Chain A
Amino acid sequence: MRTGVECLMDGLKKAGVQIIFGLPGGSVLDIFNGLYNAAFEFVLARHEQGATHMADGYARATGRVGCCLVTSGPGATNAVTGLGTAYMDSIPLVCISGQVPTHMIGNDAFQEADTTGITRPVTKHNYLVRNVDDLPRIIAEAFYIASTGKPGPVLVDIPKDVQRGSTAAPSPNEVKIRSYNPTTEGHPRQIEKLAEAINKAKKPLLYVGGGAIAANAAAEVTQLARKAKIPVTTTLLGLGAFPETDALALRMLGMHGSVTANYATHHCDLLVSVGARFDDRVTGKIAEFAPHAKIAHIDIDPSAISKSVPVDIPVVGDVKQVLKVLLPLVESKERAEWLAQIQEWKQKHPFVYDQDESKLMPQYVIEQIYALTKGDAIIVTEVGQHQMWSAQYYKYTKPRTFISSGGLGTMGFGLPAAIGAQFGRPDKIVVDISGDGSAQMNFQELVVAVEHKVPIKVVILNNGYLGMVRQWQEMFYKRQYSATCLGQTARGKNEKIKDRPGTPYLPDFVKLAEAHGALGLRAKTRAAVVPMLAKAFEADGPAVVECLVEPEANVFPMVPAGASLTEMIQSMA
């Protein structure tokens, strides 16, 4: 006989868990007692949202299932944003939550929440364990479901009496669920059709998404592109699936993508989505998306096919497996004309920003991070302008080196995710590129990095604004900066803040870093950027570098929401 807690510990061990991120509470006291002498490394986050993002960053950086542990009620509700973030980006997580004893469920007990009800729309699957006999099976299923098919977060809610109960049920050695059988092998006839289309196409384009990284298919993507000479554009989450230093790389497409990638999408005659889901930030106006192209789509998720853009050649299956079958069927080609056209676009339309040396431009900081890390860092971002600049001005050459909340767009994701990523990849420099808005969400987790000597580097591009929203206000709302100014001057009339000349901007990020026990540095000028970054990167422990960047720099090019990809705005003029 084993207790529920023992079943859980054995199940986690069997699933290969090495590290758990979490925070204790009343309903998980028994589990934490079980963890006290367990073999897992435990990382005490300071907020459950931080714990889920750490597990997420760990999963994205390593490809393993991330694991987090939270208490009932507020512990679980705090985890919701982290689960939603992982769900939108198909990241494998298992979240264990405590629950009030079964006889108290539904009684509005202290710290009770309907956790499975609340998390149903933000998890791939979830369980409320009603009987300890089911626990060993459920733990095994949770890890299986999280990591197979289209990956995603799974939550297991364990009431206190189930944790304390005992059972003779063994932990299963294999999982079989009759109602869950993801298709991994692509249909051979469909793959043949795709090969024929590629061989016939004059202007093909690979459009590579996060699915290629989830499937560990970067090598196959690269082989396909090089063999058949197909240029490659990636989505935000696809960055790193194909080396951006390659001549065939067009960089990111979509709203803030490169001109070349968007032109190529518009003019191609065959668009092959490789694990990318035709997100609205990618397609712009659907009716005018890739108007001259036949569209092929390789995806493990049948529901992604023809969801927004009608697909001519669907291939449902694991991207890696499909590409392996596809590769020998594809002919080597030169495609000189198409590649020459692309080269011309590339030369004409690189990413550009203001080169006035008296200004500290945010894009410049990212270029310097790229130079100093030799393009070999793991870059984690928050959400906003800095996120887009991180995608544009750093060239990613390997999968799992760009980590960002793409689908849900969660500010406050980056810092804890960077900590999780660094736990998984201690050999790498991990840099969280942040804005001053995002930095104020989940900054408390920096103490975790300090305590564990996890040497993440946080670079805050401080422009004094919630920059991306401010940019939209500048472009589409007549420069009425309603509630986007983070400094205390220049606020809207309705924000009744009296000018405080002594402290025009709060918080002081250098002092804040120091208060958390980390190195805090500030670059006020362009000339100070490289020395400060170098100092931070050379430091043994975590460091925060605040760069006081040009306040109203914008992200360009930009395809306005709902416009066609060819209608790119390239400057404010």
Chain B
Amino acid sequence: MKHVISIMVENRPGVLARVIGLISGRGYNIDSLNVAPTQDVTTSRITMTVPGDDRVLEQVTKQLNKLVDVIKVFDLTERKYIDRELALVKVFSSTKNRSAVIELAALCRAEIVAVQNKAMIIQMVGATDAVDNFLELIKPHGIVDVSRTGVIAMGKAEG
């Protein structure tokens, strides 16, 4: 099962390396990773998705909590949360398929952010499934490149 882990850390050099090193050093894999400062510039939030059973993940979160620079660890999978990711997709498009691509983007609520002679760049925001689905649908038009942010997430509990 895939777990979404949200980690509040001190915004200092080397902290990300500590977190990643801890996980890779124990032979666990990271599916996606995202890191950026929060509203408080001295803290950063790392969001990652890690595959593994509950026992493995319990050990991962405990070990993460032990790191001196880690302020708090949440395994969001255990609670209600919203997750999103953003993908930029460059798709071949000529006069022949342009309207089909535009139509598909509109249907999936994706946004066209750049139009070039032979390609378009489309921005798709959504839960991982929705992004996967969109990429699947657009594939026949010829994907040149994809860049995904990886999951970011937020628990729904108020306050």
Residue ranges of A at the interface with B (Cβ–Cβ < 8 Å): 116-117, 120-121, 124-125, 128, 130, 145, 150, 177-180, 301-303, 305-307
Contact = CB atoms under 8 A, between A and B. Distances in A.
A125 B58 CA distance: 22
Given A121-B25, A179-B68, A179-B71, A303 B14 contact: no
A147 to B, nearest CB: 13
B14 A128 contact: yes
Given A117-B17, A120-B18, A303-B63, A180 B25 contact: no
Nearest to B61: A303
18 contacts: A117-B17, A120-B21, A121-B21, A121-B25, A125-B67, A145-B68, A150-B66, A177-B68, A178-B71, A179-B68, A179-B69, A180-B68, A302-B65, A302-B66, A303-B59, A305-B62, A306-B58, A307-B59
Closest 9 CB pairs of A and B: A303-B62, A179-B71, A125-B68, A180-B68, A303-B63, A302-B62, A121-B25, A120-B21, A303-B66
A303 B68 contact: no
Contacts of A117: 17
A128 B58 CA distance: 30
Contacts, number: 37
A110 B96 CA distance: 61
A306 B69 CA distance: 24
Contacts of A150: 66
A305 B70 CA distance: 20
Contacts of B66: 150, 301-303
Nearest to B60: A303
Given A303-B59, A303-B62, A116 B68 contact: no
A178 B17 CA distance: 20
Contacts of A305: 62
Contacts of A179: 9-10, 68-71
B65 A303 contact: yes
> What secondary structure prevails in chain A residues at the interface with B?
loop
B116 to A, nearest CB: 38
A262 B149 CA distance: 53
A178 B21 CA distance: 22
A302 B58 CA distance: 11
A123 B17 CA distance: 14
Contacts of B21: 120-121
A301 B66 CA distance: 8
Interface in B61-98: 62-63, 65-71
B49 to A, nearest CB: 21
B91 to A, nearest CB: 39
A303 B65 CA distance: 9
A120 B18 CA distance: 7
A492 B71 CA distance: 55
Interface in B1-60: 9-10, 13-14, 17-18, 21, 25, 58-59
Nearest to B42: A178
A543 B62 CA distance: 47
Q: Which of B58, B66, B69 has the most CB of A within 10 A?
A: B66
Nearest to A177: B68
A303 B67 CA distance: 11
Contacts of A121: 21, 25
A11 to B, nearest CB: 18
Nearest to A154: B68
Contacts of A124: 68
Contacts of B9: 179
A103 to B, nearest CB: 16
Contacts of A116: 14
A178 B71 CA distance: 7
A149 to B, nearest CB: 9
Contacts of B69: 125, 179
Nearest to A124: B68
A179 B62 CA distance: 14
Contacts of B68: 124-125, 145, 177, 179-180
A180 B65 CA distance: 9
Contacts of B58: 306
A156 to B, nearest CB: 13
A347 B119 CA distance: 85
Nearest to B55: A306
B17 A120 contact: yes
Contacts of B18: 120
Contacts of B65: 302-303
Interface in B89-140: none
A117 B70 CA distance: 17
Given A121-B25, A128-B14, 10 more contacts: A117-B17, A120-B18, A121-B21, A125-B69, A179-B9, A179-B68, A179-B69, A179-B71, A303-B62, A303-B63
B53 to A, nearest CB: 13
A120 B69 CA distance: 13
Q: Which of B17, B21, B62, B71 has the most CB of A within 10 A?
A: B62
Contacts of B25: 121
Contacts of B59: 303, 307
A51 B17 CA distance: 28
Q: Which of B10, B21, B68, B70 has the most CB of A within 10 A?
A: B68
B6 to A, nearest CB: 15
